[in-house]
Amino acid sequence: MEQSDTYRESRGHLAELSDEELKDYFWELIGDIIEPIVQEARTHTSPSIERSVLLRMGFSSVEAKALVTMIAERGLLGHGAGNLVLRVAKKSGLDIRNAGLALIDGTQWDNVK
C-alpha cells in the first residue's frame, strides 16, 4: 500500500513564499485563530474570573469578593474588575492595592467612569 505525500500537496501554496512572507502569513493565521477568543473574553466574564484576576493582583479572597460584588452591583463587571482597579489607581495616584481598598471603603468610586 503506497501512501500519498499530502505534505507536498498541502504546502504547495507556501512553496514560493520568502521567509518574511511565511512569517507574516503565520502571524495572520494566528490572528485569525486568536481573534474569536479575544472577542469572547471581552464580552464574557464571570464573578469567579474577576475574583481570580484580583487575587493575582495581590488582593485577599475576602477583598476580591467584596470588590467584585461592588463592581457587579454597579453593572460594571463587563469592564473587568482588575481593569477598573488599575484605572482608579492611575487616576488617583494610589498603588493598585490601595486603590482597591479605597474602592472597598467607598472613597474612590467617583474615579470610576
In a domain, 20, yes or no: no
Q: What is the pLDDT along the chain (113 residues), one digit of tens a residue?
A: 566 677 677 777 888 889 999 999 999 999 999 998 888 877 788 899 999 999 999 999 999 999 999 999 999 988 899 999 999 999 999 999 999 999 999 999 988 87
Domain that holds residue 107: 47-111
In a domain, 98, yes or no: yes
In a domain, 104, yes or no: yes
For residue 61, what is the domain's CATH number?
1.10.8.1000
In a domain, 29, yes or no: no
8 Å CB contact between 96 and 85: yes
Domain count, the chain: 1
pLDDT of residue 104: 96
Cell numbers at 20, concatenated: 518574511
Q: What is the pTM of this model?
A: 0.63
In a domain, 78, yes or no: yes
In a domain, 103, yes or no: yes
In a domain, 72, yes or no: yes
In a domain, 85, yes or no: yes
pLDDT of residue 39: 84
pLDDT of residue 3: 62
8 Å CB contact between 73 and 111: no
8 Å CB contact between 59 and 97: yes
CA dist 109 to 6, 19, 28, 92, Å?
60, 52, 41, 11
